[in-house]
Structure 1
Amino acid sequence: MGSSVDAVVAPRGVVDLRGEAGAEFVAAYPADAVVVVSGLPGAGKSTLLRRWSGAARVRTVDPRTVHEACEAVMPAALPYAVYRPWARLEHFRLLRSSVRRGGPLLVHDCGSRAWMRRWLAREAARRGRELHLVLLDVGAATALDGQRARGRHAKARVFARHRRGLERLLAAFTRHVRSGGPLPTPEASSVLLLDAVSRSRARSVEFGAENATR
């Protein structure tokens, strides 16, 4: 581990690093963990996943990959909306098979759909695996800037739907951090809350490490 890394963070329960500046850190999870990185379109999920998967050489499931694979075999004139159900089914098949294969897994997901988290947690638990969440709280303006920078834009209604769902979830986490009470996502063994500042500090991920400073 490089000298610029200040800590290894092995989340349990809710770990809120929003607003915390400092040195880079490594996020550490159990050897067979399923780690879901969530946030608004443009929040930096893909950037974080590329950095983490490249450093740890971990398999990643990203719905964009399936989307592009479907586009490649469909007529150019055929709108994506026509074959979206098939693309989604293929994504679920890939996600299920990846969980069943074992080994550490990173998952790209918007995070606003509770049923998706519960389904994925059940699939993982059947194989003795834990589900962990990383939630990027960067705000709508930063996420929209991120969309412009990457040249891909979510439809306004889709963005608004994800925004509403994530705002409710983040508000529940904020209440939990401040006053305790039930965990908003009981299906997850941990939730790591990051904003634009702490997201940039999350240098890499490792699986199987037992010790941490937090």
Structure 2
Amino acid sequence: MNRTTACAATAGVAVPQQPSAPARRRAAGRPAPVVRDLRDRAGRSPHALLFGPRDLVVVTGLPGSGKSTLMRRAVPGHRVDSQDARDRWAARLPRRLPYALYRPLVRLAHYAGLRRVLRTGEGAVVHDCGTQAWVRAWLAHEARRRGGTLHLLLLDVAPGTAREGQRERGRGVSRYAFRRHRRASARLLDAVERGEPPAGCGSAVLLDRAAADALRRIVFTG
């Protein structure tokens, strides 16, 4: 059975549905997106998120918010993380070579890998930097084409915490790039909190650091 919304559970308890999008979206003849807020749950965060077998999941948030860490820990199946492509290229090149010089190659490798995974028709979790809206549009189109749904996982982490996460991992972005990410993330968070995920998203899940740390599995069932 295809699931059209994310289902999160801990100890067999489903997470209550949160307020969804405004009525004007329902009037358009399409199901209203579902927004689930898992922040500030005082240790009652779910340990698993379950999606349909042909669904696609986008994980977004500030650089250093823990997207790559979450994906490596919780995704046993297909995951496409741009950080993996960056690490592979960095291992081949001199350490002193600035990332900006080979960033186009990293992006090309990342999108080529994403295309290969999408061609399998199976569920996948994809890293999203938050500043490339066309990527979400691509994934939304692909999800509809295969009869699945696009879902958004948004890590809501304070900028200072995200910066600390970058330092801990020895990875950083420029102040200019971080400001761009911060503005894009703030706009996205504001829209999701209003019950209006990006166009094409069937659901959105809001996670704070505690909820992300509690999450152990992101799986596709069917």
* 1:16 has 2:37 as partner: yes
Alignment check: 8 A CA contact 1:137 1:194 kept: yes
* 1:109 has 2:122 as partner: no
Tell me which amino acid in the other structure corresponds to 1:46. S
Query: Which deviates further from its counterpart, 12-21 or 39-48?
Result: 12-21
2:178 — aligned with what? 159
CA distance in 1, matches of 2:16, 2:221: 10
Other structure's SS at 2:53 match:
coil
Alignment check: 8 A CA contact 2:78 2:123 kept: yes
Displacement of 1:85 in angstroms is: 1.6
Which blocks of at least 5 consecutive residues in structure 2 are unaligned? 1-9, 18-32
Displacement of 1:130 in angstroms is: 1.9
Displacement of 1:8 in angstroms is: 4.4
Which blocks of at least 5 consecutive residues in structure 1 are unaligned? 177-182, 210-214
Displacement of 1:129 in angstroms is: 2.9
Tell me which amino acid in the other structure corresponds to 2:165. G
Other structure's SS at 2:153 match:
strand
Taking structure 1 as the reference length, the TM-score comes to: 0.82
RMSD value, Cα: 2.2
CA distance in 2, matches of 1:96, 1:9: 32
The alignment of Structure 1 onto Structure 2 pairs a total of residues equal to 197
Tell me which amino acid in the other structure corresponds to 2:130. G
* 1:35 has 2:41 as partner: no
* 1:79 has 2:92 as partner: no
1:180 — aligned with what? none
CA distance in 1, matches of 2:139, 2:64: 23
Tell me which amino acid in the other structure corresponds to 1:23. R
Displacement of 1:94 in angstroms is: 0.9
Tell me which amino acid in the other structure corresponds to 2:35. V
Displacement of 1:134 in angstroms is: 0.3
* 1:173 has 2:180 as partner: no
| Cα distance change on mapping 1:20 and 1:77 into 2, 3 Å | closer
Taking structure 2 as the reference length, the TM-score comes to: 0.79
| Cα distance change on mapping 1:7 and 1:46 into 2, 3 Å | farther
| Cα distance change on mapping 1:175 and 1:8 into 2, 3 Å | closer
The structure 2 residue matched to 1:143, chosen from 162, 184, 200, is 162
Other structure's SS at 1:189 match:
strand
Displacement of 1:24 in angstroms is: 4.4
2:205 — aligned with what? 192
1:179 — aligned with what? none
| Cα distance change on mapping 1:72 and 1:174 into 2, 3 Å | same
Displacement of 1:27 in angstroms is: 0.8
Determine which structure has the larger helix proportion and give its number: 1
Cα distance per residue 1:11-55 (max 9 Å; x no partner): 8611112222233421111012211111111111112112212xx
CA distance in 2, matches of 1:10, 1:61: 29
| Cα distance change on mapping 1:44 and 1:94 into 2, 3 Å | same
* Larger relative contact order, structure 1 or 2 (CA cutoff 8 Å, min sep 6): 1
* 1:134 has 2:153 as partner: yes
Cα distance per residue 1:162-196 (max 9 Å; x no partner): 000010111122223xxxxxx23121111101112
